[in-house]
Each structure stands twice: as C-alpha cells, then as structure tokens.
Amino acid sequence: MDFGPHLLLAVLEGAVGAAVLALTALGLSLVFGVMRVVNVAHGEFFMLGAVIAWFVATSIGGHPTVGFVAALALAPLIAGLVAVLVDRLILKPVKYDPEATIVGTIGVLYILQQTALMTYGPEARPVEPPFSHRIALPWFEWGENGFAMFYPWGLSTNSYKLFVIGAAIVILLAFWLIMTRSKAGLIMRATQLDRETALAFGIPVSRVYSIVFGLGAGLAALAAVLIVPIQQAHYLMGHDPLLLSFIVVIIGGLGSIRGTVLAAVLIGMSDGIISVFLSPTLSKIIATLLVALVLVFRPQGLFGKKPA
Amino acid sequence: MLKLDQISTGYGPIQVLFDFSLEVRAGEVLCLMGRNGAGKSTAMKAIMGLLPLSGGQISLDGMPISTLPAHEVPRQGIGYIPQGRRLFTEMTVAENIQIGLMTRGKGAETRERVLDMFPRLRERLDQRAETLSGGEQQMLATARALCLEPRVLLLDEPTEGLQPSMIQLIRETVEKMREAGVAIILVEQRIEAVLQIADRVAFIENGYGREVVNTEQLRGDRRLFEKYVGV
Ligand SMILES: Nc1ncnc2c1ncn2[C@@H]1O[C@H](COP(=O)(O)OP(=O)(O)OP(=O)(O)O)[C@@H](O)[C@H]1O
Ligand SMILES: [Mg+2]
C-alpha cells in the first residue's frame, strides 16, 4: 500500500482509540475536577466494564446484538454502582483527603483486579460485535488521466469501528449537553467550583460526590463495552487506559471537558498513527515525553486555566 | 428567630469561637462587629452548618438546625452572602441565580422579583460572573441569596470595596428585607453605616461574645467601638 492509503488506515485506527480514550479520560477528569480525587482504580472500572460485558453477552446468548445492547446498558450501571460503594465505604470515610484517596484507590485497583482474576479468570475473551461488515475505502489520485477514485487492495475498515467512533461522539455530545444545559450539570459544576458555597445553597455535596464517582466509572465501563468487540476482555486490561487517561488529563488540563476531549484526540490519534508506522512502544514513549514537557512548561495543561 | 446558644467551633484543632451566643429577631438588623480575625465570618459559617460545633446549639424558631446536614440549613430559609461574595465565577449570572432558586425550589416569580431589584443583572444574564464589576458581583451575590426568599439573611461585609452608590443600593436592599420581616445579621466594619442601619449591635472579641446593645446607646458614646473595633 502507498503512504496515503496507509495513513488513512492509521488515522482510522487512531480515531477508534481516540474515541474510547476520550470517554475513559473524561471519567477520570470529571472525578478529579469535581471531587479532587485522583482515582488510581479508574482503569479497573474500564476492565470491569469489559468483563461484565463478556458475562452479560455470554449469559444472554441469542443474536450478538441483544447481548451487546444489554452489556451497553448493564456494564456501566454495575461498574457505576460498584464505584458508588467505593465512594461510600472508602473515599467518604477518609474525607476525600488527597493522599488517603490515592492509597485507597490503589487498594481498590488490586481488589477489583484480583476479584476479576478469581471469577473471570486469566484468559482473554472476545465479545462478538453486534455487526461487522467489511467496508472498502476509496482512495483518490490525481494522475495522468486526471482525477481518479479507486479502491486500493487492503484498504478497508469495518462498520463496527465506525460505529464506535460515532457512538463516542454522540455520548460526548450528550455529556456536554448534560454538563452545560441541565440542572444536574449545574449542580456538578457548582460543586466543582466551590464546594462550601454549594453546600450553603442547598447542594447535597456528598450525594453529588457519589454520583460523580459512579458516573466517572460508568464512562470508563461504557468505553470498555464499546472496545471489547475489537480488543478482548482481560483482567489486566486496565493498565493502558489508566496510563493514557492520566496522560490525556494532564495534557488537557484537569477538569476541563474540552481540554480532555482535544487531548484524547491528540494522544489517541498519534498513538494510532505512530503504532501503525513505527511501534506502539515508541508512541507511549513520545506521549510520556509530551506529558513531561507539558508538566514543565504548562503545568495547568494545554487547555486548562492557570490556577488563580 | 435565629439563636446561637453558647456555640464553640473552629477549624480542625484550632478553636475560634468560645461559647458564643447571639440572637436575632424577625424584622431586625443585627450588626456584628469585631476586629479582623475576631471570628465574625466563622460565626456565619457555623450558622450555615459549614463548621462542626464542639459545643452549643443553633436554632431557628426553636428548631435546632445545627444537627442538620449542611445542605439542609439553607433550605430552612437562611440566605447567605459570604465575605468576598464567593460567586460561581465560571458560571453566568443566570446560572448563579438559578442555583439560588433551586435551593428552596423557587421559580420564575421569585426570579422576576429579584431581578427587578437589580436591573443591571437582568441586562447581563448571559455574562460570566467573573467578568462583572465588583459592584455587580455584589449585586449578584445578594440576588442569589434573595432567591431563597429567606427568613434569615446573613451578610458578611457586603460593602467591602464598593463605591457609595453601590453601598446605598445594598443598604436599601437590607432595609427592604427588614420591612418584609426578615431577620438580618450584618457584619459591617464602618461605624457610620452601622449607626444608620443597625437596630442592635453585637461585639465579638477573640472569639468571645461581648456586649450586645441597642444602636441608640452607641450614638453619643463611642467607647464600645474604640474597645472592640479599635477606632
Ligand atoms: N479555613 C480556616 N482554617 C484555619 N483557620 C481559619 C480559617 N478561616 C479562618 N481561620 C481563623 O479563624 C480566625 C477567625 O477568622 P474569621 O474569618 O472568622 O475572622 P473575621 O472576624 O471574619 O475577620 P475579618 O474581619 O478579617 O473578615 C482567624 O484567626 C483566622 O485565621
Ligand atoms: Mg470575615
């Protein structure tokens, strides 16, 4: 394949990664923004989403679409409820102290991981996509005979991957609308901006925290359900999403929706492209280097605001 | 109406208020005066349930409110205008107002009445709070609290850094609320303003409640001001 079509393929791969990463990182960013909690277990909620998706899909049976849709609804819900329990049993009792919550969520990371190992086992298992049609992609060339469109051999994607990208965009838009236009969003933003004043205006901050922590985990689980027909579910699959989400959140600026999404696209795309052309390891090295540079020169993140 | 009965509170291990008592009646303006760091703002926060009490109790119309979770306190009808305004800076004027309305489930009618009191806010509904002038910010902080249709209003140094016309507006608002029967605690440092607006004045010193007197007593005799405010 020529460079052009090859690049198109890499961009598409990158876009799928970026879509899933944007959702995952948004959850981490939301939790940090509103609660000032660094959720080290965030990747495990992602893993939980994938593993639950497998359980749901296999126990329901029938057409893959039925299992997938059920997983799409149930996995984020269950992961969210687990997160609410974590908030009530671990984060609230330590009064959301920054250091204590890091240690606490490290504990949660291992508990979830080992529970998955004990119940789901060490195997990687796939979830069948609800649909997957090969879609040949056209390429354009400006040659001797003028403009020409053709389908290069091997240049194809599948409909499910396009669905993942579309679904992520829809979810991100919905999330943005909720945060900016709804009462619930107003309450979350008020809590994020000034917890004490929020309380003084009747906002039940501790309930908001539980919901936000659940929502953050739910977003990670949702991202995992979307990706699990492409990547298999595995009890250790939470590591990469956690690392990449941290990278995204640092580059994008903590607590900023726009920054998180833009940084996810930047990191997800470059991860996809560099992985295709060079190597996945190199792409992680570059991303981590970028984080170091951002931390040195723009600690508030590329799109974050300077702390007052 | 609102009664603080020998409360003790502070920040973690640091105790700030010691057996502090205070009472304000419906339709009364009580000014709270004391030096910087005396504990005036701390008393306001304690009323709002934002600080745990290590002793004493706060009640509203005889019902204890210091045992309620903090977010239930404003829902009893206590409007709070914090020192430094504490607006939700990244939100618009309309959103700040909305939060005030949501506190006690008030609707469009309340909103219109409050905006009528501050027409400049009505012109700036979509402007972000942080871009308002100092005076407009104070109007917004006041409007947000009035959206509760409060029975008790707490104002913590609302005139800090404002020009005379704005101070006048705040004063008129306070007087309007008093006429409506609201119980008002006003933290205010300027003696002239206190003499004009207060029904009673309470002094606080190093976290201890001192004299509480009728304003009349202070007009000819400024010794209490000298003693507790240092002028
Ligand atoms: N968040 C806090 N943590 C620890 N100590 C605090 C905190 N807020 C206030 N204090 C302390 O409590 C004491 C009383 O402060 P407070 O703000 O109530 O004073 P104030 O009377 O309102 O003063 P001012 O006139 O300057 O507003 C001060 O010694 C202050 O340092
Ligand atoms: Mg003060």
The pLDDT assigned to A308 comes to: 47
Instruction: Classify residue B211: in a domain, yes or no.
Output: yes
Residues of B in contact with A202 (CB under 8 A): 71-72, 74-75, 102-104
C-alpha of residue A100 to centroid of ligand 1, in Å: 27
Secondary structure E strands in B89-223? 152-156, 183-187, 200-205, 208-214
- With a cut of 90, say whether residue A280 has pLDDT above it: no
B230: CATH: 3.40.50.300
Asked if residue A297 lies in contact with residue A306, where contact means CB atoms within 8 angstroms, the answer is no
C-alpha of residue B40 to centroid of ligand 2, in Å: 5
| Model-wide pTM > 0.80 | yes
Instruction: Classify residue B159: in a domain, yes or no.
Output: no
Q: CB of B45 closer than 6 A to ligand 1?
A: no
- With a cut of 50, say whether residue A42 has pLDDT above it: yes
Instruction: Classify residue B162: in a domain, yes or no.
Output: no
Residues of B in contact with A195 (CB under 8 A): none
Instruction: Classify residue B228: in a domain, yes or no.
Output: yes
Instruction: For chain A, positions 175-204, list CB contacts with chain B under 8 A.
Output: 183, 186-187, 189-190, 193-194, 196-204
Distance CA A133, CA A129 (A): 10
User: Tens-of-pLDDT digits for all 231 residues of chain B?
Assistant: 999 999 999 999 999 999 999 999 999 999 999 999 999 999 999 999 999 999 999 999 999 999 999 999 999 999 999 999 999 999 999 999 999 999 999 999 999 999 999 999 999 999 999 999 999 999 999 999 999 999 999 999 999 889 999 999 999 999 999 999 999 999 999 998 999 999 999 999 999 999 899 999 888 888 888 889 886
Beta bridge partners of A129: none
Q: CB of B36 closer than 6 A to ligand 1?
A: yes
C-alpha of residue B142 to centroid of ligand 1, in Å: 22
Asked if residue B79 lies in contact with residue B153, where contact means CB atoms within 8 angstroms, the answer is yes
Which atom of ligand 1 lies nearest, measured to the CA of B44? 18
Domain boundaries defined on chain A: 3-297
**Tokens 């639950």, residue?**
A52
Class of domain A3-297: mainly alpha
- The pLDDT mean for chain A works out to 91
Work out how many domains chain B is built from and give that number: 1
Cα A62 to Cα A59, A216, A231: the distances in Å are: 9, 31, 21
Instruction: Classify residue B70: in a domain, yes or no.
Output: yes
Among candidate residues A179, A175, A200, the one with its CA nearest the CA of residue A188? A179
Share of chain A above pLDDT 70, in %: 98
Ligand 1 pocket mutation, candidates B8, B14, B17, criterion most atoms within 8 A of CB: B14
Range of the domain at B49: 1-77+186-231
Nearest CB partner across the interface for A199, out of B50, B89, B100: B50
Q: Are strands B183-187 and B29-33 parallel, antiparallel or unpaired?
A: parallel
